[in-house]
Amino acid sequence: MLIDTNVNLGPWPFTPVPDRTGPALAAHLASNGIRRALVSHFGAVFLPEPMPANRKLFAAVRRSPALIPVPVINPALRNWREQLAECRDAAPLRAVKILPNYHRYKLGAAHLVPFMAALADAKLKLILNVRLEDERHKYFALRIKGVPVPELARFLGRFPRHHVLFAGIYKGEVEKLAPNFTNFSAEISFCETTNCLELMLPKFPARRLMLGTCTPLLSTRGEADKLRGARIPARAKTLIGAANARRFFNL
């Protein structure tokens, strides 16, 4: 059984990906061997305030227990406490997601201090989305780069008691951060080279890697096969494929 830590619902404006219902998404993931998934809604990426998309997310996953809602919070907006409160009222939450590059704030911003404290109080995990697309293939008018490694490092140094999951991070970025920080895990959809996991494990422990497919932007089957086809110990596959996510998100 696999747990996918990086899935989205909703349309993406720049490429014709499937806009699935909750049950259709759950069925699609199951057909690729994924039994549970942490799901956000693409609408939250571009809306001026993410709650309309979060409401769609909660409605969509209500009848699909395999889909665990991960609302997007924009802590740069004055109402981030209200966003968080409404999400907590809407469903039992395990985590929230932030998109600093799409929501135009730095990870050194002052508002992140009370935000991180609020997450700790609520016992919520944080997924920090580093990127959603290969920068080379973005829509020509969308000049948004991935969150730079020095920013990620600054964030990890600033909040050493918080363990965060970086989604959409490159292998090289994981390896740059790894020697100095133990308070992060990495989702693997954007980690790729031949024998990727085999090469990563000596530099980064399996207990801090988690399967993610970036469905529907990337091929679910291709990304799941990255783990299935890896020449790594069975124990490491179990950790990356489900056990780490189960432990981290208390599933």
22 to 41: interface string for another protein, x by CB under 8 A: ----------x---------
Q: How far is CA 68 from CA 37, 147, 190, 233, in A?
A: 6, 25, 21, 28
226 binding another protein? (CB under 8 A) = yes
> Can you tell me the distance from the alpha carbon of 38 to that of 189, in angstroms, rounded to the nearest whole number?
14
- Which one of residues 182, 195, 238, 250 is an interface residue with another protein (CB under 8 A)? 195
- Which one of residues 3, 39, 84, 217 is an interface residue with another protein (CB under 8 A)? 217
Residues 51 and 83 sit within 8 Å (Cβ to Cβ) = yes
User: Which 41-100 residues touch another protein, going by CB under 8 A?
Assistant: none
Residues 244 and 208 sit within 8 Å (Cβ to Cβ) = yes
Applying CB under 8 A, the site for another protein has a residue count of: 35
Residue 16 or 65 having the CB closest to another protein: 16
- Which one of residues 50, 215, 236, 245 is an interface residue with another protein (CB under 8 A)? 215
Query: DSSP code of 37?
Result: E
134 binding another protein? (CB under 8 A) = yes
Q: Which span (58-66, 118-126, 178-186, 225-233) binds another protein, by CB under 8 A?
A: 225-233
The H-or-E segment that residue 5 falls in is strand 2-9
Q: Find the shortest distance in angstroms from Cβ 174 to another protein.
A: 15
> Can you tell me the distance from the alpha carbon of 100 to that of 78, in angstroms, rounded to the nearest whole number?
15
222 binding another protein? (CB under 8 A) = yes
How close are the terminal C-alpha atoms of the chain, in Å? 13
**How many CB atoms within 10 Å of residue 104?**
10
- Which one of residues 38, 107, 152, 218 is an interface residue with another protein (CB under 8 A)? 218
**How many CB atoms within 10 Å of residue 43?**
22
Tell me which residues touch another protein (CB under 8 A): 15-18, 32, 134-138, 140, 189-190, 192-196, 214-226, 228-231
